[in-house]
Structure 1
Amino acid sequence: MIVVRRNMVIACPLDEVVAYLEDFGRTEQWDPGTVRCVRVDEGPVRPGSTWRNTSHFRGRTSDLLYRLETRDPARLVFVGKNSTVTATDDMRFEARSPAVTELTYVGSLRFHGLAKLATPFLRAEFERLGDGVTERLPAAVAQYCR
């Protein structure tokens, strides 16, 4: 399994950060690997809501079906699956002040079948993607909060 952990400080109140990030369709704005992310179901975002995420990685495009597994006031967990990989985005939030939120983002990938063999060779590229999230996500959320 590959695990990427990043801490970010976001100039936005905690509840607004969570409100922005609970709509996984917004990953297009902050995840450098996401090409497209579209909500599959309807209604308010809640545990069980699903999105089809198309990502581009190492010259290939893949689709994962993501589901919001946990939606707490200070935590969001999304799990995406296809036949090759299970991806988990675990986001924990802590208010540093009324207008500043610290986000601990943990992304993990568990490859299935023969794809498991590639795990050691992909770690560095996923770390690079984690760096891209760290660069883009705080600005995307802060723009939403304005």
Structure 2
Amino acid sequence: MRITRKVTVDGTSPAAVYAYLKDFTTSEQWDPGTIETTLVEGDGGVGSRYHNRSVFRGRETELTYVTVDLQQDRLVVMHGENKTVIAQDTMSISPGAEGLGTVLVYEADFTFKGIAKIATPFLRGQLTKLGDEAKAALDRELSRL
């Protein structure tokens, strides 16, 4: 299941958006389900590992995220996993119209495992709501940079 949202931020450079999103601990500010994200290994570059505590459907869960791809001022890709879900967050960054501001395309891919896989069709509405809330938070947070 994939959720895609587009965020356009006037007055914020692609470099500032990239630096903000590359530090995945900022997910506490823009990911509506995240309670806490801590860097547990690495320097924030490719291969860095993060511990993420989130709430989904009223239940607290933990995921390990790894930075799998970084392209300066253009791309941040995070891979998260636990026993019930694989999450891949792809954040594509580009200059806005006429080189002003930034356009962020945020894609969150979810693959459910085990018994949770059966519930996938029933989760679409909740994941869509999370995507909408993440977009609103990214609009707010990125405009502050």
The TM-score bracket by the shorter chain reads over 0.9
Q: Does 1:58 align with 2:61?
A: no
1:48 aligned partner, one-letter code: G
Across the aligned residues of Structure 1 and Structure 2, the Cα RMSD in angstroms comes to 1.1
Following TM superposition, by how much is the alpha carbon of 1:142 offset from its aligned partner in structure 2, in angstroms?
A: 2.3
Q: 5 Å matches for 1:4-15?
A: 4-11=3-10, 12-15=12-15
1:14 aligned partner, one-letter code: P
Q: Does 1:136 align with 2:137?
A: yes
C-alpha separation in 1, matches of 2:65 and 2:9:
24
Following TM superposition, by how much is the alpha carbon of 1:98 offset from its aligned partner in structure 2, in angstroms?
A: 4.5
TM-score when normalising by structure 2: 0.94
C-alpha separation in 1, matches of 2:38 and 2:9:
25
Q: Does 1:101 align with 2:102?
A: yes
2:20 aligned partner, one-letter code: Y
| 2:102 aligned counterpart, secondary structure | strand
C-alpha separation in 2, matches of 1:19 and 1:99:
17
1:50 aligned partner, one-letter code: R
The runs of at least 4 consecutive aligned structure 1 residues that moved more than 6 Å come to: none
1:39 aligned partner, one-letter code: L
C-alpha separation in 1, matches of 2:143 and 2:107:
20
C-alpha separation in 1, matches of 2:89 and 2:42:
21
Following TM superposition, by how much is the alpha carbon of 1:127 offset from its aligned partner in structure 2, in angstroms?
A: 0.3
| 2:86 aligned counterpart, secondary structure | strand
| 1:40 aligned counterpart, secondary structure | strand
- Is the CA contact (8 Å cut-off) linking 1:14 and 1:99 kept in structure 2? no
2:35 aligned partner, one-letter code: V
C-alpha separation in 2, matches of 1:70 and 1:42:
14
What is the identity percentage for the equivalent residue pairs of Structure 1 and Structure 2?
A: 35
1:47 aligned partner, one-letter code: V
| 1:48 aligned counterpart, secondary structure | coil
TM-score when normalising by structure 1: 0.93
2:55 aligned partner, one-letter code: H
Following TM superposition, by how much is the alpha carbon of 1:115 offset from its aligned partner in structure 2, in angstroms?
A: 1.0
- Is the CA contact (8 Å cut-off) linking 1:13 and 1:98 kept in structure 2? no
Following TM superposition, by how much is the alpha carbon of 1:138 offset from its aligned partner in structure 2, in angstroms?
A: 2.1
| 2:25 aligned counterpart, secondary structure | helix
2:40 aligned partner, one-letter code: V
1:4 aligned partner, one-letter code: I
- Counting matched residue pairs gives 142
